[in-house]
Chain A
Amino acid sequence: MAEIGCDQFSNCLIDFVDGDLDQVQHALVKDHLEKCPLCEALMESYVKTIFILQKVNQVAPPKDMAIRLRQYLQSKLPSSL
């Protein structure tokens, strides 16, 4: 079975994490990760970064934003609202 190195792994990290690799490429990356703790650590921290990023940005709009938005639109689009 062919193998990939760290550089190749680095180039396809995003596709691996986003699930865009075909079955053969996916297997090659998995094989490399089993042999290379540094790339495995990179992959894990990359995934965790995406996870934290998603949590950070689950911001709720300000409490009365919806009301203010409607009032604003009402003042600008009186015939519509």
Chain B
Amino acid sequence: MSHLGNEPKTEMSDLSDQELVALFHQGNQEVIDQFLQRYQTRVYRLAFGILRNPQDAEEVIQEVFLRIFRKLHTFKGESSFSSWLYRVAINTTFMKIREKKGTEVMSLEEVERLLDQESAKAGATDWARRPDDELLSEEAIGVITDAMEKLPDEFKIVVTLRDIDGLSTEEVGKLLELSPAAVKSRLHRARLFLRKRLEEFYRQLYEGE
């Protein structure tokens, strides 16, 4: 780490994760910087996506990378480095959730009941045709952020990995040990739930126009 800035970073950044792990096994500690550069923002966003609290998310990434680098010498490459990292990040994030008492989340049954009430029909959804920059107000962002906080963790993690981190349905399924159908089911319900919250907000906002 003390060498940061003196090393030919382009060379290190060209290496695959697997090659970096091999270098680490040979005693090269500088790969740690490269891994941090590659993954710290992604891990932070994953943790923040679930926890919705910057301080908690930061504590999680510290714990995640500490675990990863303490165990890296035993990493055999049976899964990809990024899969391993994601698994550690997910587990650490859920541990943080368990630490925090009193967080108000909806039960799966409550979410399902809400979604049943919703029905498949859209209702007043003209809002979706408004320009993107008009929709992306701070208030709208607050609405969807609040709605995310209310989702049960089982839904939140799927939305975060799939829609925010851009992992495929199959990748999410592997990480969470769910079938692709189960991933899709949770993702779909979560998206519908968030859509409903947005619709209520925009309906009030544009009422009377």
- By a beta-carbon cutoff of 8 Å, the part of chain A in contact with chain B is 6-7, 9-10, 13-15, 18, 20, 38-39, 41-42, 44-62, 65-66, 68-70, 72-74, 76-77, 80-81
Contacts and interface: CB of A to CB of B under 8 A. Distances in A.
Given A41-B125, A42-B121, A66-B36, A53 B164 contact: yes
Residue of A9, A41, A50, A53 with most partner-chain B CB within 10 A: A53
A51 to B, nearest CB: 7
A14 B66 contact: no
Contact of B163 (A20, A54, A59): A54
A37 to B, nearest CB: 9
Contacts of A50: 163, 191
Contacts of B125: 41-42, 44-45
Nearest to A13: B188
Residue of A14, A47, A57 with most partner-chain B CB within 10 A: A57
Contacts, number: 125
B191 A65 contact: no
Contacts of A61: 40-41, 44-45, 58
A73 B44 CA distance: 16
A58 B141 CA distance: 11
Given A14-B188, A53-B159, A72-B62, A48 B44 contact: no
A39 B122 contact: yes
B61 interface: yes
User: DSSP class of B's interface residues: helix, strand, loop or mixed?
Assistant: helix
Interface stretch (B14-22, B75-83, B89-97, B193-201): B193-201
A45 B141 CA distance: 15
A55 B132 CA distance: 11
Nearest to B54: A62
Given A42-B120, A47-B128, A52-B198, A57 B160 contact: yes
B176 interface: no
Interface of B: 1-2, 29, 32, 36, 40-41, 44-45, 48-49, 54, 58, 61-62, 65-66, 69-70, 120-122, 125-129, 132, 135-136, 140-141, 144-145, 148, 159-160, 163-164, 169, 184, 187-188, 191-192, 194-195, 198-199
B136 A52 contact: yes
Given A10-B120, A42-B122, A51-B132, A69 B36 contact: yes
Nearest to A81: B1
Nearest to A14: B188
23 contacts: A13-B188, A41-B122, A45-B122, A45-B195, A46-B192, A48-B198, A52-B141, A52-B144, A53-B148, A55-B141, A56-B148, A57-B164, A59-B44, A59-B48, A61-B58, A62-B54, A65-B44, A66-B40, A69-B58, A72-B66, A73-B69, A74-B1, A80-B69
